Amino acid sequence: MKRHCNLAFFIPHLGCPNQCSFCDQRAISGAAKAPAPEEIAESCREYLASGGDGQNTEIAFFGGSFTAIPREQMLAYLKAVQPFLGEGGLSGIRISTRPDAVPEEILCILKEYGVTAVELGAQSMSDRVLEMNQRGHTAQDVREAAVCIRRQGFSLGLQMMYGLYGSTPEEERRTLEDCIALRPDTMRLYPTVILEGTCLAERYRSGRYVLPSWEEMLDFAAMAMGRLREEGIRLIRCGLHVEQDLEKRMIAGFYHPALRELAESRLYFKAMICWMEKYAAEYRAFSQNGHGHTRYSFIVETAKGCAGKAAGHKGENRRRLCERELFQNHLSAECRMKIREVPDLAEGQLRMYMQQLVSGPDGRTIIRIGEEVYDVFKIT
Ligand code: SF4
């Protein structure tokens, strides 16, 4: 299957009347410049002329409030890209916007201009959290907008933030489940990043806003990945895009170039812990019995391209496993952990066992003990 991609344009909502706690639109309003419709048309032309895979590429107007910008500006963008849609062109248009900015009338316009996917910045499904972060809309707005978007035949995307001011672990889980209940085709998970010049920055500096820990965030993101996969909803983004400018503007929060991989490798770690809990007794007996003529290893197998996720970022999973009481004094000295990729496993599968190499009069025999295959996305 060919990889889907976006030809993305960031359309800032300059002069936005809202004041969401995490948004630095006002602080950067002098520096942020909306691209001209002609520039966007030129980029589309260049993309197709250079052999870009139009049929698997959508034009994406991001920035969070596409339908809330002045009407003429929105129409100018939509008109500018019309020559590049359809046969031999790009596959459609994707926009992101606020849940309270998609009345039926706007959706009709979007349809007319070939918009295929509408993403809503839901952020939270707790009215209390939405209010504490000055979002200016309610969870009911998200529900109603989602229903209209689906009814009009658009692909529905929902964006959720994690770790907003005032949000509790229970509200994070509820938000995820409420989003799932709206049956989006795609979701994006954005753990909060605190930008200079925002209300969150002030609250953070004064100690009123305390971020959850990275551990909590990664556990949540890993759980969300599993839930969304289970529900057949594609998680198309986890964490903000890498952007040098953003790195300069942020003062704290969850920003990492490989945030999704960090969360995914946590799922692999959880599977390893499951195995350890199940086979602790066997492992102890195995590693403490003084196998004079045997060599043994702890084997972790993954699909092609997934060994790094099992090992964890900079070998973190391996290190954390070795720190476990069960493995201390054994793993590094006698029992070696091997992580390898094998052809018979699919992405997300993890096979684990202890392998013993027994030398006898008839040569060497390999014995596998405690062999298990896990679907890491189903580990809770
Ligand atoms: S995030 Fe909030 S404040 Fe920022 S542009 Fe969007 S609606 Fe306006």
C-beta 98 within 6 A of ligand 1: yes
pLDDT at 27: 63
- Tell me, in angstroms, the distance from the centre of ligand 1 to residue 52's CA: 32
Ligand 1 atom closest to the Cα of residue 134 is: 2
Domains, the chain, ordered by start = 5-257 (3.20.20.70), 270-378 (3.30.360)
CA distance 226 to 285: 33
* For ligand 1, mutation pick of 10, 11, 16, 29 (most atoms within 8 Å of CB): 16
Ligand 1 atom closest to the Cα of residue 13 is: 5
C-beta 270 within 6 A of ligand 1: no
pTM of the model: 0.90
Which residue has the least CA distance to atom 5 on ligand 1?
13
C-beta 18 within 6 A of ligand 1: yes
C-beta 137 within 6 A of ligand 1: no
Ligand 1 atom closest to the Cα of residue 65 is: 6
**Under 8 Å CB-to-CB from 41, ≥6 apart: which residues?**
80, 81, 83, 84
SS (H, E, C) the chain: CCCCEEEEEECCCCCCCCCCCCCCCCCCCCCCCCCCHHHHHHHHHHHHHCCCCHHHEEEEEECCCHHHCCHHHHHHHHHHHHHHECCCCECEEEEEECHHHCCHHHHHHHHHCCEEEEEEEEECCCHHHHHHCCCCCCHHHHHHHHHHHHHCCCEEEEEEEECCCCCCHHHHHHHHHHHHHCCCCEEEEEECEEECCCHHHHHHHCCCCCCCCHHHHHHHHHHHHHHHHHCCCEEEEECCCCCHHHHHHEEEECCCCCHHHHHHHHHHHHHHHHHHHHHHHHHHHHHHCCCCCEEEEEEEEECCCCHHHHHCHHHHHHHHHHHCCCCCCCCCCCCEEEEEECCCCCCCEEEEEEEEEEEECCEEEEEEEEEEEEEHHHCC
* For ligand 1, mutation pick of 11, 13, 14 (most atoms within 8 Å of CB): 13
Which residue has the least CA distance to atom 4 on ligand 1?
23
- Per-position pLDDT tens, the chain of length 380: 567 789 999 998 877 888 899 998 766 545 568 899 999 999 999 999 999 888 999 999 998 799 999 999 999 999 999 999 988 899 999 999 999 999 999 999 999 999 999 999 999 999 999 999 999 999 999 999 999 999 999 999 999 999 999 999 999 999 999 999 999 999 999 999 999 999 999 999 999 999 999 999 999 999 999 999 999 999 999 999 887 788 888 999 999 999 999 999 999 999 999 998 888 887 777 666 555 445 678 899 999 999 999 999 988 898 888 777 666 655 554 457 889 999 999 999 999 998 887 777 878 888 888 999 999 999 87
C-beta 13 within 6 A of ligand 1: yes
CA distance 179 to 95: 18
- Tell me, in angstroms, the distance from the centre of ligand 1 to residue 319's CA: 41
pLDDT at 60: 96
pLDDT at 334: 44
- Tell me, in angstroms, the distance from the centre of ligand 1 to residue 121's CA: 10
In contact, 200 and 21? CB cutoff 8 Å? yes
pLDDT at 32: 67
C-beta 199 within 6 A of ligand 1: no
pLDDT at 28: 58
pLDDT at 292: 46
